[in-house]
């Protein structure tokens, strides 16, 4: 074989080895079955496709957990992993799922709302494929996802995404972003079906309030806040003020802009009787000027570049050597959801929702997130769900 050919064959073999190695890792990530443990409060489990048949058999279908109290009351829907690269939302939702006992009214929890996005990743940014949370019985492993649904599930992207029904022109990528496809439609793109199914759930179940949990860059002003439209802003404001006064962490209210379409905090309120709220907590991992996107950065939020930017007043949140640990973010989310429930119940006593056994900010910061996850070896198998 001539020398040139030998070099070509060797190069092809090297490329093939790299493609196969990466391909196996990405295949395993996409098919990794994450454990969801249903706690004592769970009374029934549906699939999102029960509200839009077009989701059945797709990677976008996902579990919907109902926690119904003995006494009738109002209903709250909790959405996590709308953006699957903002995992404090999932971790907070799982604390509710494993621990909440509802005494009055109903909680409905969708821990992996954009389930396709949870199976997507961002190799170009060096995202980790998984992360683990320490518990007293070992580690609990989670799939790290992406902001958008996987192109393996929804493809091709249009040149321009025309929002339904407003016809506003949005970025092509946002057709795979479940915080731009509200209110959705049953015959649209797969992510429009996901949001349509959630709208149907809210309309048929007569859900009073929906909380969509997120995380945002420290260099982005919409962080450490509750975003709410006009009809929900009073409850959001009372919640924000109470959190700051009683629990000592920063929070403010951002009004939902009426001219920017497709967002949960806008469309849910416009297309149903449900009051929408979107929660943001700081997520240094998402900022652009950071070091490598490691699991450590994801969990402790410590980054030297952000620290130097904080000293130049370039961040929208307080930031020092202690970073922004996961337990603080998860604690903020849990407290915000509980306070929204309390404020809503005070204002609408006939639709009151009473929940116990969910920790607040101080407890989660003190004990860590893993403290509230139960050992699956001690749980009845019928209460273990894999997705
Ligand atoms: Zn988000």
CA dist., res. 98 & res. 373, Å (int): 7
Output the CA–CA distances (angstroms, integers) from residue 223 to 86, 214, 216, 267, in the order listed.
12, 9, 6, 20
Output the CA–CA distances (angstroms, integers) from residue 186 to 16, 55, 57, in the order listed.
41, 9, 15
Ligand 1 centroid–CA 357 distance in Å is: 27
DSSP, collapsed to helix, strand or coil, labels residue 94 as helix
Ligand 1 centroid–CA 179 distance in Å is: 7
Ligand 1 centroid–CA 86 distance in Å is: 6
pLDDT at 261: 97
Ligand 1 centroid–CA 339 distance in Å is: 21
Ligand 1 centroid–CA 372 distance in Å is: 24
For residue 335, the Cα-to-chain-centroid distance in whole angstroms is 16
First-to-last alpha carbon distance for the chain, in angstroms, is 51
Ligand 1 centroid–CA 87 distance in Å is: 10
pLDDT at 123: 82
Ligand 1 centroid–CA 103 distance in Å is: 31
Ligand 1 centroid–CA 74 distance in Å is: 26
Task: List the structure tokens of 382.
Answer: 């019928």
Output the CA–CA distances (angstroms, integers) from residue 331 to 30, 152, 325, 336, in the order listed.
29, 34, 10, 8
Ligand 1 centroid–CA 198 distance in Å is: 17
CA dist., res. 285 & res. 297, Å (int): 6
Ligand 1 centroid–CA 214 distance in Å is: 4
For the chain, which residues score pLDDT lower than 50?
none
pLDDT at 369: 98
Ligand 1 centroid–CA 16 distance in Å is: 36
- Which residue, 353, 318, 269, 367, is CA-closest to 74? 353
Ligand 1 centroid–CA 84 distance in Å is: 8
Structural domains of the chain ordered from first start: 32-148+194-386 (3.40.630)
CA dist., res. 380 & res. 378, Å (int): 7
Strands 63-68 and 44-47: antiparallel
Ligand 1 centroid–CA 274 distance in Å is: 20
pLDDT at 36: 97
pLDDT at 60: 98
CA dist., res. 114 & res. 129, Å (int): 16
Q: What is the largest CA-CA distance in the chain?
A: 85
Ligand 1 centroid–CA 381 distance in Å is: 32
Ligand 1 centroid–CA 1 distance in Å is: 55
Ligand 1 centroid–CA 216 distance in Å is: 6
pLDDT at 1: 66
Ligand 1 centroid–CA 136 distance in Å is: 30
pLDDT in tens, 6-28: 999 999 999 999 999 999 999 99
pLDDT at 155: 96
Ligand 1 centroid–CA 215 distance in Å is: 5
Contact assessment for residue 184 and residue 193, using Cβ atoms and an 8 Å cutoff: yes
pLDDT at 296: 98
């Amino acid at each position: 074989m001539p020398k040139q050919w030998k070099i070509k064959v060797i190069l092809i073999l090297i490329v093939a080895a790299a493609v196969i190695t990466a391909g196996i890792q990405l295949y395993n990530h996409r098919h990794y079955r994450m454990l969801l443990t249903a706690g004592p409060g769970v009374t029934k489990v549906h699939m999102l496709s029960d509200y839009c048949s077009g989701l059945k058999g797709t990677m976008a279908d996902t579990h919907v957990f109902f926690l119904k109290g003995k006494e009738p009351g109002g209903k709250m829907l909790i959405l996590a992993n709308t953006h699957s690269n903002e995992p404090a939302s999932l971790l907070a939702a799982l604390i509710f799922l494993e621990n909440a006992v509802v005494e009055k009214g109903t909680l409905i929890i969708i821990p992996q709302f954009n389930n396709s996005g949870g199976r997507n990743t961002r190799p170009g940014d060096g995202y980790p494929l998984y992360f683990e949370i320490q518990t007293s019985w070992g580690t609990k492993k989670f799939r790290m996802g992406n902001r958008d649904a996987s192109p393996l599930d929804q493809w091709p992207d249009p040149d321009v995404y025309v929002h339904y029904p407003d016809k506003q022109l949005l970025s092509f990528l946002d057709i795979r972003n479940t915080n731009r496809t509200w209110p959705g439609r049953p015959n649209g793109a797969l992510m429009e079906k996901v949001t349509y199914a959630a709208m149907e759930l809210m309309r048929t179940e007569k859900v009073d309030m929906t909380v969509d949990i997120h995380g945002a860059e420290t260099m982005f002003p919409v962080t450490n806040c509750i975003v709410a439209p006009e009809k929900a802003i009073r409850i959001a404001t009372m919640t924000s003020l109470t959190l700051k006064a009683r629990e000592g962490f920063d929070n403010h209210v951002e009004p939902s802009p009426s001219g920017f379409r497709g967002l949960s905090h806008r469309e849910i309120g416009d297309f149903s009787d449900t009051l929408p709220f979107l929660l943001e907590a700081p997520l240094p991992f998402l900022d652009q000027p950071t070091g490598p996107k490691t699991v450590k950065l994801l969990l402790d939020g410590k980054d030297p570049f952000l620290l130097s930017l904080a000293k130049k007043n370039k961040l929208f949140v307080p930031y020092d050597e202690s970073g922004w640990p996961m337990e603080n973010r998860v604690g903020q989310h849990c407290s915000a959801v509980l306070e929204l429930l309390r404020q809503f119940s005070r204002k609408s006593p006939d639709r009151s929702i009473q929940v116990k056994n969910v920790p607040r900010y101080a407890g989660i910061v003190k004990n860590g997130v893993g403290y509230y996850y139960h050992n699956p070896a001690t749980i009845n198998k019928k209460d273990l769900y894999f997705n």
